[in-house]
Amino acid sequence: MDKIIVKGGPALHGEVKVSGAKNAALPILASSLLGDGTSTYRNVPDLVDCATMLKVLNTMGCEAERLTGRQKSVCQVMVGPHITPEAPYELVKTMRASVLVLGPLVARYGRARVSMPGGCAIGARPIDQHLKGLKALGAEITLTEGYVEARAKKLKGGTVNFDLITVTGTENVMMAAVLAKGRTVLENCAREPEVEELARVLNKMGARIEGAGTSVITIDGVDSLRPVEHTILPDRIEAGTLLVAAAISGGDVLVKPAVPEHLEPVVLKLREAGCVITPQEGGLRCKAPKILQPVNVTTTEHPGFPTDMQAQLMVLMCVANGTSVISENIFENRFMHVAELHRMGADITIQGPTAVVKGVKKLSGAPVMATDLRASASLILAGLRAEGRTDVARVYHLDRGYERLERKLRGLGADIRRVKA
Ligand code: EPU
């Protein structure tokens, strides 16, 4: 199992390239099931999670592959006439987002059998809202032997008011509704840029979706969809993580490409912390201040501060000049990085969903363990600033969502390498 070794100290400088967005690529790959033929997606990040989604599609009988060489960021999915609409436990247990095939399968094939995702390190993460939405469109849902089975001869448009805001829930039901008969109105939807991106792709395939990116999405069902070619938007969370890398190392880095509007909540907090952030050449440049100021943050759904940036911002606040209060409102157990940060000398107290972070003069390198994707990124960020050497173990979490983060950081001057443990 690989580990990453970081020696803290160097201020990062230069320009770094952001990969395509994981959380847009996953639903978009799943959406290929909605139309016969070959879809081509560019700028698909080379991540374990994307490979898992390709496996899920192949298991069903699609021909899904990543091209090689210079075309490595291109994925093609061929959907033929023989599809087994089933996602097995062995794959779903390794990636919850596999559940995104549920909506397309029931809409297109009238039947889906998908292993029920369990909880994960950051929370229980039920899928009741996905199921509520599919039921409202007329699907009959049963749970047997750990699998969700959804059946419907033909889905029918309906109104769904989500009880809470869910990103993949909105995406799953939106993908089901595009082939339903009549009009569907989804209320209290997630407004994340990745939901909007999925709608953009579905509309290119021939769907009729309006309002994606707002809390009400209206979908007029169509009879069939065609395959598509699409370039995936840049990953706002990877971009945010790299901006924090610049800030925590005392550096000056241009992170591109990046869509400034997608990163607004993150940029506002980094500016409050004293960073100078300017849009430049289709990206964002972050210049670190001499002294970082504390900031208070509450994670909420987009356009609020993203939970996927909470761990990274917390690390930055560990070395700020004062006390910050960070509240996690989306997942009930997303502070697991705190215990590891304590080992590096951080001063953090957890009170329920809130962490009180007192800035310390220095962090010191230590062996630490990644517990989930964003937590692992935060430990690497801590290592960039810490005195001495930090060994981050269990980096398979990192590889699910960051394309060779250590290479990108090394390109900016970090002393970081990956070794086989
Ligand atoms: N929830 C329910 N019932 C549901 C669905 C969600 O109670 O049916 C709860 C969840 O337990 C959670 C909250 O609602 O407390 C929000 O969850 P959401 O459904 O929005 O999360 P998700 O769709 O499973 C996506 C991202 C996550 C990101 C969250 C929140 C993908 C593939 N995953 O997950 O990304 O943290 O939205 O923004 O899009 C990551 O990339 O590291 C990651 C975890």
pLDDT reported for residue 125: 85
Query: Bigger pLDDT: 121 or 95?
Result: 95
Residue 118 has pLDDT above 80, yes or no: no
Residue 315 has pLDDT above 90, yes or no: yes
pLDDT reported for residue 121: 78
Q: Which atom of ligand 1 is nearest to the CA of 171?
A: 23
Residue 408 has pLDDT above 80, yes or no: yes
Residue with CA at minimum distance from ligand 1 atom 37 = 167
When pLDDT is cut at 50, 70 and 90, the band that residue 120 belongs to is confident
Write out pLDDT tens, residues 202-240.
Answer: 999 999 999 999 999 999 999 999 999 999 999 999 999
286 in catalytic set: no
28 and 103 Cβ atoms separated by less than 8 Å: no
Overall average pLDDT of the 70-77 stretch: 97
pLDDT reported for residue 122: 79
Residue 123 has pLDDT above 90, yes or no: no
Give the strands of the sheet with 63-66, arranged side by side. Answer: 63-66, 75-79, 37-42, 229-231
pTM tops 0.85, yes or no: yes
When pLDDT is cut at 50, 70 and 90, the band that residue 1 belongs to is confident
Query: Bigger pLDDT: 362 or 117?
Result: 362
Output the CA 362–ligand 1 centroid distance in Å: 34
Catalytic residue among 120, 189, 286, 318: 120
Overall average pLDDT of the 284-303 stretch: 98
Average pLDDT, the chain: 96
Phi–psi pair at 240, nearest 5 degrees: -60, -40
pLDDT reported for residue 179: 98
Residue 119 has pLDDT above 80, yes or no: no
283 and 242 Cβ atoms separated by less than 8 Å: no
E-state strands within 2-74: 2-7, 13-17, 37-42, 63-66
pLDDT reported for residue 117: 87
When pLDDT is cut at 50, 70 and 90, the band that residue 99 belongs to is very high
When pLDDT is cut at 50, 70 and 90, the band that residue 420 belongs to is confident
Q: DSSP label at 52?
A: H
When pLDDT is cut at 50, 70 and 90, the band that residue 344 belongs to is very high
Of the candidates 206, 156, 147, the one whose C-alpha atom is nearest the C-alpha of residue 180 is 156
What is the CB < 6 Å shell around ligand 1?
Answer: 23, 26, 97, 123-130, 164, 166-169, 190, 306-308, 330-331, 373-374, 401
Q: Which atom of ligand 1 is nearest to the CA of 401?
A: 41
Q: DSSP label at 172?
A: H
Of the candidates 123, 100, 26, the one whose C-alpha atom is nearest the C-alpha of residue 374 is 123
- Which residue in this structure is represented by tokens 């579905």? 202
